[in-house]
Structure 1
């Protein structure tokens, strides 16, 4: 089992309940100082205290198992608004919000996320004087990147 898989296994076992999920785990190994970054979320959002608790316990286990020969940095946080949506649960949590969706073919659409299934999202585009709003059913397989658009109105 590789290092990332082992860390994923350990971190998953530490999640408080099924409403919590791992968004991303990145491991950059180095002879000087390796870095482990874990992005954690839950269906109801996540607090800094919850991230800190997971970080403390995971750090303790990593030390016990001696997975790193040299020094390492462990970073546990929630994905920021600039982090692209990658999982169905993230899309579900952001239903009703504005998204920018970039397609694998280079195209891009913006609109309101109205529905989420296991294989698609439905985006309602903003209407203009020239084009009415439309509902686009978009398969995940066609999405290169989807990000929540933050409004400061």
Structure 2
């Protein structure tokens, strides 16, 4: 399959900004480039253990902007840069995503078998443990087709990840 121009540009942008973002103590979670009329919108999602702050977003915005200005990766194209948090709606695809969402409710669709919904109680490098209706279930990451955090509006908790 041939890679499109947009995919190539997105990969080049990712390659240019990954290390500078990491130098700030942040993980580069996503790079998305989309057309918006005569301009493009470049969305860069970041995260870190404990969550990001507005200062993290500001620092990352300045650094990504500087790196892009010093490179030719965007060419002559006019663009708007948006640096954001990873967001609760993004799938859990890395062990760090599971770890950072410990104590949150997740819906897991395995490659084979029945869909599970449970609370992450432990998260390691190759699997997580979910509390599914009071029963511990181990979920190997390589067996997961898709996993997403379920938003809980009425949950009260003082534990990490519990939103009041």
SS of 1:107's equivalent in the other structure is coil
Match of 2:67?
Answer: 61
Indicate if the aligned counterparts of 2:22 and 2:28 stay in contact, CA closer than 8 A: no
Indicate if the aligned counterparts of 1:31 and 1:70 stay in contact, CA closer than 8 A: no
1:29-108, aligned counterparts within 5 Å? 32-68=38-74, 69-105=76-112, 107-108=114-115
1:14 and 2:14 are equivalent in the alignment: no
Question: What's the offset of the Cα at 1:106?
Answer: 7.0
Match of 1:130?
Answer: none
- Note closer, same or farther for the CA distance 1:19–1:70 as it changes in structure 2 (3 Å cut): closer
Looking at structure 2, the residues matched to 20 and 12 of structure 1 have their Cα atoms a distance apart, in angstroms, of: 9
Looking at structure 2, the residues matched to 65 and 19 of structure 1 have their Cα atoms a distance apart, in angstroms, of: 22
Looking at structure 2, the residues matched to 59 and 72 of structure 1 have their Cα atoms a distance apart, in angstroms, of: 11
- Note closer, same or farther for the CA distance 1:16–1:120 as it changes in structure 2 (3 Å cut): closer
Question: What's the offset of the Cα at 1:31?
Answer: 9.0
Match of 1:129?
Answer: none
In structure 1, the gaps of 5 or more residues are 127-132
Match of 2:142?
Answer: 141
SS of 1:113's equivalent in the other structure is strand
Indicate if the aligned counterparts of 1:19 and 1:44 stay in contact, CA closer than 8 A: no
State TM-score, norm by structure 1.
Answer: 0.79
SS of 2:61's equivalent in the other structure is helix
Looking at structure 2, the residues matched to 12 and 137 of structure 1 have their Cα atoms a distance apart, in angstroms, of: 32
- Note closer, same or farther for the CA distance 1:62–1:31 as it changes in structure 2 (3 Å cut): farther
SS of 2:117's equivalent in the other structure is strand
Among residues 109, 113, 130, which one is paired with 1:123 in the alignment? 130
